[in-house]
Amino acid sequence: MGSHLIISNTIANMAKESTYNAGASYNALTNGSKIIGKIFADSDFRIDGEVEGDISCNGKLIIGQNGLLKGTITCQNAEIIGFVTGNIIVSDTLTLRSSAQIKGDVKTKILVVEPNAVFNGSCSMREVVNTEAK
């Protein structure tokens, strides 16, 4: 039976503050760390380490320059700077930065690809993709 990592993160109430930074609350896996198993995240998640398994994220997923993911990604938005081997399902915008290397199929509403990004797979773009984490 595979292992599961369930991450819930709540944003503290910033009472009466005029500026709100939604990116201030996120989960991270740092460089040099490795997870084998499934990840479920309620908020944004950044991976600068290595993951072997699937990730479901109800926010934005960032695979950093040193990040490596072998598995399926399911999220609302994603920014890939590092390496992904596996399928990617994004309900809104998938951004592949110039250093990104993707091997797998993609389903997304909006695809942004910078010059020099490597994408080997097929892409299906449609209006609505259901990515609700289960």
Instruction: Give the per-residue pLDDT at 16.
Output: 29
Number of domains in the chain: 1
Instruction: Give the per-residue pLDDT at 70.
Output: 98
Instruction: Give the per-residue pLDDT at 130.
Output: 57
Q: Which domain does 67 fall in, by range? A: 27-122
Q: Is residue 10 part of a domain?
A: no
Instruction: Give the per-residue pLDDT at 25.
Output: 66
Instruction: Give the per-residue pLDDT at 104.
Output: 96
- Measured CA to CA, the distance from residue 80 to residue 97 in angstroms comes to 6
Instruction: Give the per-residue pLDDT at 102.
Output: 97
Q: Is residue 18 part of a domain?
A: no
- Measured CA to CA, the distance from residue 19 to residue 48 in angstroms comes to 28
pLDDT digits (tens, 9 = 90+) for 15-74: 223 333 454 567 888 888 899 999 999 999 999 999 999 999 999 999 999 999 999 999
pLDDT digits (tens, 9 = 90+) for 98-123: 999 999 999 999 999 999 999 999 99
Instruction: Give the per-residue pLDDT at 77.
Output: 97
Q: Is residue 95 part of a domain?
A: yes
Q: Is residue 39 part of a domain?
A: yes
